[in-house]
Amino acid sequence: MTKAELLAKIKQAKAEQWRELDLSNQGIKELPPEIGQLTTLQSLGLWDNQLSTLPPEIGQLTALQSLLLGGNQLSALPPEIGQLTALQSLDLKKNQLSTLPPEIEQLTALQSLSLWSNQLSTLPPEIGQLTALQSLELGDNKLSTLPPEIGQLTALQSLELWDNKLSTLPPEIGQLTALQSLVLWGNQLSILPPRIGQLTALQSLYIWGNQLSTLPSEIGQLTALESLYLGDNQFSTLPSEIWQLTALQSLDLGNNQLSTLPPEIGQLTALQSIDLMGNQLSTLPSEIVQLTALQSLDLKNNQLSRLPPEIGKLSNLLVLDVRENPASFPAKFAHLNCQKEGIYIAKHIPQLPEEILSKSFWEIEQYVRDMQAAEALPLNEAKLILVGEGAVGKTCVVNRLIHNAYQVPEKTEGIDRHQWDDLIINSQKVRLNVWDFGGQEVLHATHQFFLTKRSLYVLVLDARRGEQESRLEYWLKLIQSFGGNSPILIAINKTDQEHRLTLNKIHWLYVICSG
């Protein structure tokens, strides 16, 4: 957006007394002073531009309730920002702010403040004046400490401090009694203050990727906690109080130094997901059978020589991962099928695609849960891929199949895609996505990127060419390499002309494509 276009937009907004103005992703490098004339604005979107400064006139927008400035190049805020006393939401993420002005304390109506992905090394004590704040996002900065005044934000429900340099938390953190979510992953915490036990409304606590080897016993007071993420720390044992958290639904203990689990783990009867990967577990307690709500269990990369037979009684288990353990496990459990070596999925779940099974446990688990949550509807789509040498008539075959018409096609350069929408199979309408590959030798190297499993292949041959000239073996092996066990139809073209091609031991289909 040019400066003239921007001024015209501001002029129009002023004349029509707009309440909302979205100027996001317009390449704006500078805001003109005229922006201050839009005194009726309640929402201003300037996301993803190239702003490095804000004009002082921004402070004249006293009716503004929402200001979106994320994804710019701001290194400082003008003191006039404090005049926006009606502001409820301020988005400043993904900028270059290293400090906040003291005048921020005047934004007493602010409920949401997003500052993640900046360069903040400190927070001003004035942050404590934002007593209406419910959400504060400070992830991906350079904070090494938090001011004690953080404890004054008693309305705060969500606090994100991920990926900073925090080695300690101030005791005042315990005053945030309305807090429901606390995100601390990717810091340098070696201890948690005992006052964390005062956060009795806390439902989610994310502390993975720190340097914790112990937890305060007060952790047991967080009886509303549903998600606890302690992975990638240095725990060799866990405090007994952790087993008092009977509301826990998700527990991450992965990549620690645990060699045993106590029988008390069986008290966490609400657990639906537990991550124990990357530890040193050689056995599991039989009490694991008490986790009757358990849906996913990650035991990858431990020292397990066997699994307790009781694990077969966990009838709600959807995903079990025992890869990278020294023992071989049975091919089947009571309610599970082995879909890939070491990965067991509930029998009532359809076979998962290979590309899903090759992903991380979390991604597999999420895929299975999404399948469970979603209504099962047939996709009714398939992929039809035509391959073969150049000038054998692949495009001609496509035209005959889709349009039942013959026309002399131009040579296909690269790949053409078509949709065949008129198929009815078992009274269901089915769409075929047809991929027509050019046959030039230079294109063969790209086949590996497009030939996929679970597709229908049509190998088009020219009846006037012999089997060697048609490179039949080459194409069949290529399809098998990238398409696995996908079905292959052989389409022999131009059969009304001189016929040199003979095929042995192959089920083949004539598709005559002649004028």
Domain assignment present for 150: no
Domain endpoint, select from 119, 149, 175: 119
Domain assignment present for 205: no
Question: Which pLDDT band, with edges at 50, 70 and 90, does 360 fall under?
Answer: confident
**Sign of the CA dihedral with 465 first, then 467, 473, and 479 last:** positive
Domain endpoint, select from 119, 150, 166: 119
Task: Count CB neighbours of 286 within 10 A.
Answer: 13
Query: 118 pLDDT exceeds 70?
Result: yes
Identify the H or E element spanning 385: strand 381-387
Query: 510 pLDDT exceeds 50?
Result: no
Query: 282 pLDDT exceeds 80?
Result: yes
Query: 448 pLDDT exceeds 80?
Result: no
Percent of the chain past pLDDT 70, that is, above it, reads 88
Question: Which pLDDT band, with edges at 50, 70 and 90, does 92 fall under?
Answer: very high
SS3 for 11? helix
Q: How far apart are CA 107 and CA 90, in angstroms?
A: 10
Residue range 351-370: mean pLDDT, rounded: 85
Alpha helices in 182-321 (DSSP H): none
Q: What share of the chain is helix, strand, coil (3-state, %, to 5)?
A: 25, 20, 55
Q: How far apart are CA 61 and CA 65, in angstroms?
A: 9
For residue 408, what is the domain's CATH number?
3.40.50.300
Domain assignment present for 447: yes
Query: Which of 202, 210, 203, 225 shows the shortest CA–CA distance to 162?
Result: 210
Q: What integer pLDDT is reported at residue 507 of this predicted model?
A: 44
Q: Are 476 and 494 in contact (CB under 8 A)?
A: no
Least confident of 137-141, 264-268, 327-331: 327-331
Domain assignment present for 344: no
Q: How far apart are CA 136 and CA 131, in angstroms?
A: 11
b/e code 218-254 from CB counts within 10 Å (16+ = b): bbbbbeebbbbbbbbbebeebeebbbbbeebbbbbbb
Task: Look up residue 418 and give its DSSP letter.
Answer: E
Q: What integer pLDDT is reported at residue 179 of this predicted model?
A: 97
**416: buried, middle or exposed (CB in 10 Å: 19+, 13-18, 0-12)?**
middle
Identify the H or E element spanning 10: helix 3-15
Q: Considering its fold, how many domains does the chain have in total?
A: 2
**Sign of the CA dihedral with 72 first, then 73, 76, and 78 last:** negative
Q: Write down the pTM of the prediction.
A: 0.73
Q: Are 309 and 287 in contact (CB under 8 A)?
A: no
Query: 203 pLDDT exceeds 60?
Result: yes
Domain assignment present for 191: no
Domain assignment present for 295: no
Query: 67 pLDDT exceeds 60?
Result: yes
Look-up of token digits 């996908």 = 486
Domain assignment present for 355: no
Domain assignment present for 462: yes
Look-up of token digits 């304390």 = 105
**Sign of the CA dihedral with 99 first, then 100, 102, and 103 last:** positive
Residue of higher predicted confidence among 393 and 28: 28
Look-up of token digits 């891929």 = 385
Alpha helices in 233-388 (DSSP H): 354-357, 361-373
Domain endpoint, select from 78, 104, 119: 119
Query: 267 pLDDT exceeds 50?
Result: yes
Q: Are 31 and 10 in contact (CB under 8 A)?
A: no
Residue range(s) defining the domain that contains residue 23: 1-119
